[in-house]
Amino acid sequence: MSYPLAGITVLDLSRLQSGPSCSQILGYLGAYVIKIEDVNGGDVTRIDNVNNSSIDDSHFTIFNNSKESITLNLKTPEGKKILEKLIVKSDIILENFSHGIMNKLGFSWENIKNINPKIIYASIKGFNDSDIYNNYKSFETTAQAISGLMSANRDSNQIPKFAPIGVSDSGAGLHMVIGILSALMQREREGIGQKIEVSLYDSMVNLMRIELMRYINIDNAEERSFDPIGNNSIIFKCNPLGPDDFIVIHLAGEMLESVLILIGREDLLETLNEEDLYRKSPNENIITEIEKWTKTKSKMDAFHTLAKAGIWCAPIMNPMEVIQDPYLIKQNMVTEISDDVRGNYKTIGLPIKFELTEPNIKKAPKYGEHTDKILKTILDLSEDEITTLKDSGVVL
């Protein structure tokens, strides 16, 4: 059985996270992804300091599996010609350069679609083309700031905080995957390509809907209460009371009643009123009594006990606990990749499960690993022609 995107070729000029996270999913779905890297070291995440690896940091490998790598100097006429030839043979071109860079390189959308009218041009930016925020740059933390996420996520002193996840970068990447798949379907019907724009800001606003719904249809924002235990979800301490020993329990309506019965405090049912059952959170006495019970349990014991009774709850897991979770390992969401050069390494799998196929998860490419192969097999260049390109610094 073939992969869902078998036969689709992607030219990936992107770097860092937003673009690579998009193209990696396309690769997992079976697309042939060619990562085009400059001749000055390539994607800067290769030399990040997340795990001090001597060959490609985890920052690179976690976003660049299932791709091939070619080095290419796009500042040279020869490099531009090679990219033109690759565009002719490709279905998608993806980039996340700053505004204007592709135009300066000679690859505006007008030029690209003249080269290949059926290609899909996928462009990720901090802000889309507009006379508002025109040419402004953005990245993960600034997108979190402007989208309202940091305002909604505050510490105990009400100081806005960054969320320690790549929600804006990977969020933009996921939105772009949706756009690309939609454009492929439209091309199948109408026979032409198109340009797709996704911005970090727009993507973040879409992901912020549950927070923005409070304000979108009112003229004046009411004074906010930054209540860390709002929305009926309460954080309780668990045994042995360490820094990660907590469980979140949703206590609304029948859920609250079920919890009180389960912990043997049916007597408290008589004290419940409508505010306890359906407002922000139950009264402090009820919370105290529930926590007396959770403090006698480990967070996993409390989780299994409550969850098996149909109660919405979850342990607060630290990152190491997450990647060691047997459920995620069984689901291949934490999967090990065999690599003779770097040594075997773990990566995050594909959260989409297909009945007919497994995801196409392969090791991330070494810098320029497939330059010769791509030039030979796709562009039909000879050994002498490749040697000339290397000698002139067009490829490495």
Strands 233-237, 313-315: parallel, antiparallel or unpaired by DSSP?
Answer: unpaired
Question: Catalytic one among 169, 202, 245, 276?
Answer: 169
> ∠ CA(49), CA(55), CA(59), 5° rounding?
40
Strands 334-337, 313-315: parallel, antiparallel or unpaired by DSSP?
Answer: unpaired
Report CA torsion sign: 367, 372, 377, 378. positive
Euclidean distance between CA atoms 174 and 22, whole angstroms:
6
C-beta contacts of 265-269 below 8 A and 24+ residues apart? 265/289, 265/290, 265/293
What stretch of H or E contains 132? none
Euclidean distance between CA atoms 84 and 229, whole angstroms:
56
**Burial of residue 117 (number of CB atoms within 10 Å: 0-12, 13-18, 19+):** exposed
Which amino acid appears at position 390 of this protein?
A: K
- 8 A C-beta contact, residue 359 and residue 331: no
Euclidean distance between CA atoms 159 and 138, whole angstroms:
21
Euclidean distance between CA atoms 280 and 275, whole angstroms:
8
Strands (E), the chain: 9-12, 32-37, 68-71, 92-95, 120-125, 195-199, 233-237, 246-250, 313-315, 334-337, 345-348
Q: Distance of alpha carbon 313 from its chain centroid, rounded?
A: 24
Q: Looking at residue 257, what DSSP letter applies? A: H
Euclidean distance between CA atoms 366 and 383, whole angstroms:
21
Closest CA to 10 of 59, 1, 19: 19
Euclidean distance between CA atoms 363 and 24, whole angstroms:
11
Instruction: Look up 339 and say whether it is catalytic.
Output: no
Show the tokens assigned to 371. 């330059």
Q: Which residues are catalytic?
A: 169
